[in-house]
Amino acid sequence: MKLGFVSGIALVALATLSLAWVRKDASAAAPAPIKIGVGGPMTGTNAVFGAQMRNGVEQAVRDINAGGGILNRKLSIEIGDDAGDPKQGAALAKKFVADHVSFVIGHFNSGASLPASSIYADNNILDITPAATNPQMTERGLRTVFRTCGRDDQQAGVAAKFLAGRDTKRIAIVHDKTTYGEALAEATRKELAGLGLKEVLYDGVDRGEKDYSSLITKLKTANVDVIYWSGPPSEAALIIKQMRDQGVAAFMLASDAIAGDTFTTIGGDAIEGTYMTFPSDPRDRPEAAKAVSAFKAKSIDPETYTLYAYAAVEIIKQAAEQAKSLDPIEIAKLMHSGPHFATVLGDISFDTKGDITRPDYTVFIWKKGSDGKISYNPLQP
């Protein structure tokens, strides 16, 4: 009896030890997940766009992990808030470096993206922004920096040609004094000059302003017939409402930053008839249908930059598999070499700077649909 009891204990101990070794072996066989950072304005005036980026990356990672990950490695996400501020953007980049993040999708604001991207490049982190359009993002020769969106100078060219084609005579250019807003305003000013047009007013306003009486007085004095705006949606909507309240009939052509529900929520009926330069809506692409359905199943509308962020993760997966490597430097080399990647945005390839090789902007008009809701629609030629 005692011998049997001891033998039983020995068997239990042996089984426990064997199970421990199995768990240890399983743990050793499962490599650590690949860390992807999402850097953007999760708080502040642009938080809606930070949420879009987060939604896009989270869904892409879910879909990729469900298919086995990248080169048999699963992905994990680290979310970081830069609040749209350059200093916070740099601080977040340093945190991602310390946390051994390999890839970053971000940032949103050009002001935060520029300093952050330098830190990523210095630390061999692959950075793909779905939204930062400042040309300097890719003009600095940083080998690991890319974007799935277009550039300010491309957008400015489309805006200038549109204004020239409408025979506008008295153009005001107004920006929000940010890195993004001022750079795009300057680029549009330059493109207009190349077409023989000169603005009658060039001005900047402080972000977060509520009363635009001073600006509207200037618009009246200059007798403008169009205001070109490069800045966020809330300020754009308030400017239009206050223009109409004060009898200014000039129309607005705005940049891509106004896309989204914020513009209509604040502006209401006053914003109908506003024009905007923006890429064609990726939600309408057949390549995006499966992803769009997945978002809608979670009651998420993948508007604006959601699918641009989703595509960035798709590109990382395909580039890594083509390079047969998870080394960001090797992946970046392959991306610069010009292969095409199949994404929810359609086929994308990059030039040697890290810019997409296809045109990305067209003109939209905000108008009321049959459902009574005001939204942006492609301008019919």
Which pTM does this prediction carry? 0.83
Give the residue-averaged pLDDT of 311-329: 98
| Of the candidate ranges 8-17, 28-37, 64-73, 173-182, the one whose mean pLDDT is the lowest | 8-17
**Cβ partners under 8 Å of residue 267, min gap 6:** 236, 237, 238, 240, 241, 274
What span, in angstroms and rounded, lies between the C-alpha atoms of 52 and 380? 28
β-pair type (251-254, 226-230): parallel
| Locus of tokens 């999402």 | 38
Q: Which domains does the chain have, with CATH numbers?
A: 34-149+283-348 (3.40.50.2300), 153-278+362-378 (3.40.50.2300)
What span, in angstroms and rounded, lies between the C-alpha atoms of 255 and 251? 14
- How much is the pLDDT for 29? 61
Higher pLDDT, 293 or 3: 293
Give pLDDT tens digits for 31-66: 899 999 999 999 998 999 999 999 999 999 999 999
Higher pLDDT, 49 or 3: 49
Q: Which run of H or of E encompasses 17? A: helix 2-29
What phi and psi values does residue 348 have, to the nearest 5 degrees? Answer: -125, 135
Give pLDDT tens digits for 176-213: 999 999 999 999 999 999 999 999 999 999 988 999 99
